[in-house]
């Protein structure tokens, strides 16, 4: 594991990002969400945003 990796800091960052539904998501309930920050591009499953 990278010594600079800080899971608590990463989780805090993911909570405050401005998430939006990906334009590649379909009309069903299976949606991907994306968020962009200065140094981060994050992707998550909208059904499981914490996992």
Backbone φ, ψ for residue 43 (5° rounding): -130, 140
Q: Rounded to whole angstroms, how far apart are CA atoms 20 and 22?
A: 6
Pairing of strands 32-36, 41-45: antiparallel
Q: What is the pLDDT of residues 16-28, one digit of tens each?
A: 888 888 776 666 6
Q: Rounded to whole angstroms, how far apart are CA atoms 46 and 44?
A: 6
Q: What is the pLDDT of residues 4-50, one digit of tens each?
A: 667 777 788 788 888 888 776 666 666 888 888 888 788 888 777 77
């Amino acid at each position: 594991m990278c010594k600079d990796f800080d899971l608590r800091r990463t989780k805090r960052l993911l909570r405050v990002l401005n998430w939006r539904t990906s334009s590649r998501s379909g009309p069903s309930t299976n949606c991907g969400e994306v968020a962009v920050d200065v140094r981060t591009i994050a992707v998550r499953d909208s059904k499981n945003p914490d996992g």
